[in-house]
Chains A and B, each alone.
Chain A
Amino acid sequence: MPVEILKETWTGAVQIVTLGATPAEGGTRGRTVTVGGERTLPFLHFEAPMPHRPALAVEIKDRRPDDWSPVLLRAWGDVVDDPGAWAQAAAAAGADLILLALSLTDADGRPTTPAAAVAAVRKVLSACSLPLAVFGPGQADADNELLVAVAEATKGERLLLGICEDKNYRTIVATALANGHLVNARTPMDVNLAKQLNILITDMGMPLDRIIMDPTTGAVGYGFEYGYSVMERLRLAALQGDRMTQLPMLVTPGFEAWKTKEAKVGNGVPAAWGDWEARAINWETLTALGLLEAGADILVLRHPESVRRLRLAIEGLMKG
Chain B
Amino acid sequence: MALTGIQIYKLLPQTNCKDCGFPTCLAFAMKLAAKQVELSACPHVSESAKAQLAESAAPPVRLVTVRSDGAEVKVGNEVVLFRHEKTFYNRPGLIVRVGDDLAPSALEAKVAAADAYRVTYVGIDLGIDGFAVESVKGDPAAFAAAVQAVRRHSRKPLVLTAPSASVLGAGLEMLGAGETPLLGVATADNWRDMAGLAQKAKSPLIVRGNTLDELATLTGQIKDMGVEDMVLDPAVRDFAGHLTLSTLIRRLALKKNFRPLGYPLIAFPAAAGDPAVELMLAAQAILKYAGFVVIDHFAPEAVYPLLVLRQNIYTDPQKPIQVQPGLYEINNPKPEDPVLVTTNFSITYFSVANEVEGSGLPAWLVVADAEGMSVLTAWAAGKFDAERIAKDVKRFGVADRVSRRRLVIPGHVAVLSGELEGELPDWEIRVGPREAVDLPRYMREALMN
- Measured between beta carbons, the chain A residues less than 8 angstroms from B82 are 229, 232-233, 236
Q: How large is the interface on B (under 10, 10 to 19, 20 to 34, 35 or more residues)?
A: 35 or more
A contacts with B, residue count (CB < 8 A) = 60
Query: Which residue of the partner chain, among A1, A45, A318, contacts B217 with CB atoms under 8 Å?
Result: A1
A5 to B255, CA, bound (A): 12
Could you say which of B13-21, B131-139, B298-306 contacts chain A? B298-306
B248 and A226: CB pair below 8 A? no
A260 to B240, CA, bound (A): 30
- Measured between beta carbons, the chain B residues less than 8 angstroms from A290 are 283, 287, 309
B302 nearest in chain A by CB position: A282
Residues facing A in B294-331 (CB within 8 A) are: 299-306, 308-309, 311-313, 315, 317
Could you say which of A115-123, A172-180, A202-210, A264-272 contacts chain B? A264-272
- Given A6-B248, A232-B82, A273-B304, do A285 and B276 touch, yes or no (CB 8 Å)? yes
- Measured between beta carbons, the chain A residues less than 8 angstroms from B239 are 43, 313, 316-317, 319
- Given A236-B82, A293-B288, do A268 and B308 touch, yes or no (CB 8 Å)? no
A169 at the interface (CB under 8 A from B): no
B284 and A293: CB pair below 8 A? yes
A1 to B219, CA, bound (A): 10
B351 at the interface (CB under 8 A from A): yes
A309 to B288, CA, bound (A): 19
A223 and B304: CB pair below 8 A? no
Residues facing A in B275-296 (CB within 8 A) are: 276-277, 279-280, 283-284, 287-288
- Measured between beta carbons, the chain A residues less than 8 angstroms from B315 are 225
A108 at the interface (CB under 8 A from B): no
- Measured between beta carbons, the chain A residues less than 8 angstroms from B304 are 262, 272-274, 279
- Measured between beta carbons, the chain A residues less than 8 angstroms from B436 are 261
Q: What 6 A-B pairs are tightest by C-beta distance, nearest first? A: A274-B301, A274-B300, A316-B239, A279-B301, A272-B119, A3-B212
Q: Which residues of B are interface residues toward A (Cβ below 8 A)?
A: 82-84, 117-121, 212-213, 215-217, 220, 238-240, 243-244, 247-248, 251-252, 255-256, 258, 260-261, 274, 276-277, 279-280, 283-284, 287-288, 299-306, 308-309, 311-313, 315, 317, 345, 347, 351, 355, 358, 374, 376-377, 380-381, 435-437
21 A-B interface contacts by CB (under 8 A): A1-B213, A1-B216, A2-B213, A3-B258, A190-B380, A223-B345, A225-B313, A229-B82, A232-B84, A262-B305, A271-B300, A272-B120, A274-B301, A274-B304, A286-B280, A293-B284, A305-B276, A317-B240, A318-B240, A319-B238, A319-B240
